[in-house]
Amino acid sequence: MIRIDSVTKRYPDGTLAVDRLSLEIPDRSITVLVGPSGCGKTTTLRMINRMVEPTGGSILLDGVDIQDQPVNTLRRSMGYVIQNAGLFQHRTIVDNIATVPRLLGWGKQRARARAAELMERVGLDVSLAKRYPYQLSGGQQQRVGVARALAADPPVLLMDEPFSAVDPVVRKGLQDELLRLQEELGKTIVFVTHDIDEAVKIGTMVAVLRTGGRLAQYAPPAELLSAPADDFVEDFLGIDRGIRRLSFFASGGLELTKTPIIAADSTAEQIAARATPGVPYLLVTDAEGRPLGWSDPAALADGPLDVARLLPYGRPFEYGTDSLRAALDGAVLSPTGWAVAVDGNGRAVGVVSQQTIGEAIRSAHAEGRTAAETGTGTAAEAGADAGAEAGAEAGVAG
């Protein structure tokens, strides 16, 4: 655990970057610092490894004041990942990753073996080991940066907007990779971002900071979205915070219907039997049960199936795994207004209407309000019991 106790950073010109900030960062969690420019996110992160020295307060790492540790020893016990990776351009990828182990006195062979192991762990082909950073894509360079930060197996990982310089598709992949790695390794991660979507997706706990480095709210993502502390937090979360909150409700409780699903090689009699009142279309699937598209029943009965003339089925969601947000997205993207639910192999297991999804959303929000009133449930929605304990202790400060 990292404990930040009434920490202040004031520069010689009088600029107050961080103002009496107090946070308890739980072990084996991802704590995200988010807020507008000038709110002290990066300054706070750098004070944890003493790249910036605080002018007041204290920071404790596992109960020990970081000021009582040699600064080089402290920094080598923490992985550090920055925007654009910050790689050494004159070193190969394998030697970039092996930097900290070599500083710690590891032999070259052992350090490079560890680097190769980490390349595989972060999703990099080992054939890239002898290349230089400029020969890699931005996303690959960021993976190298993460691997380098993990090389000496530090308990703490500091990440300063590490994914902000890559395109949205690569960024999503890097976020997913970080969550996968965290599940495997269980590090204590402090992550800085200005993107609230990123904070909500990856954070166990989210600290929203105001300009001037004051804490506005510290809570699990689901609680943050359901109960903003004040107008500042609500405005920062944006007008679509209700949609974001749906990410914390599972789709497994949706009532699916299978009747409108028909195989592409079905007979006229089978097509007629599948026609359902209130559902003007049928979902056509291939021989494996994977969706092909929607069609009017009468068009299917007219003759051979023309897949090119089928209506698109939108974006399917994996039933029980994806969230209500994914189900709603699928329904909105579908020209029929119905979302397609699939299993882990992409086979259609049912369809669900916007109306049914809407009823499930209302029910989920009602359950969330009840949980908030009784003091139960919100942490479970976030999937972060340990983080919720820390949030309850820290409360809302600043």
CATH number of 305's domain: 3.10.580.10
The total domain count for the chain is 2
Residues 225 and 322 in one domain: no
Per-residue pLDDT reduced to its tens digit, 155-180? 999 999 998 888 888 899 999 999 99
Cα four-point dihedral sign 232, 383, 352, 338 = positive
Asked if residues 147 and 119 have their Cβ atoms less than 8 Å apart, the reply is yes
Region for residue 85 given its phi and psi (left: phi exceeds 0; alpha: psi -120 to 50; beta: otherwise): left
Does some domain include residue 248?
Answer: no
Give dist(CA 168, CA 194) in Å, integer: 14
Closest to 274 measured CA to CA, from 260, 253, 292: 260
Does some domain include residue 340?
Answer: yes
Residues 47 and 153 in one domain: yes
User: Helices 138-150 and 168-185 sit at what angle, rounded to 10 degrees?
Assistant: 20
Residues 145 and 271 in one domain: no
Does some domain include residue 45?
Answer: yes
Residues 158 and 207 in one domain: yes
Return mean pLDDT, the chain. 87
CB atoms within 10 A of CB 90: 9
Give dist(CA 118, CA 112) in Å, integer: 10
Does some domain include residue 98?
Answer: yes
Residues 215 and 333 in one domain: no
Residues 128 and 6 in one domain: yes
Give dist(CA 340, CA 283) in Å, integer: 9
Per-residue pLDDT reduced to its tens digit, 337-377? 999 999 999 999 999 999 999 888 888 767 665 555 555 44
Residues 220 and 73 in one domain: yes
Does some domain include residue 251?
Answer: no
What pLDDT was estimated at residue 369? 58
**pTM here?**
0.79
CA 380, 383, 387 angle in degrees (round to 5)? 95
**Which range of residues forms the domain containing residue 281?**
261-359
Give dist(CA 61, CA 48) in Å, integer: 9
Does some domain include residue 234?
Answer: yes
How many residues appear in the chain? Answer: 398
Closest to 50 measured CA to CA, from 9, 98, 108: 9
CATH number of 94's domain: 3.40.50.300
Per-residue pLDDT reduced to its tens digit, 194-252? 999 999 999 999 999 999 899 999 999 989 998 999 999 999 998 888 888 888 888 98
Does some domain include residue 383?
Answer: no
Residues 130 and 167 in one domain: yes
Residues 336 and 227 in one domain: no
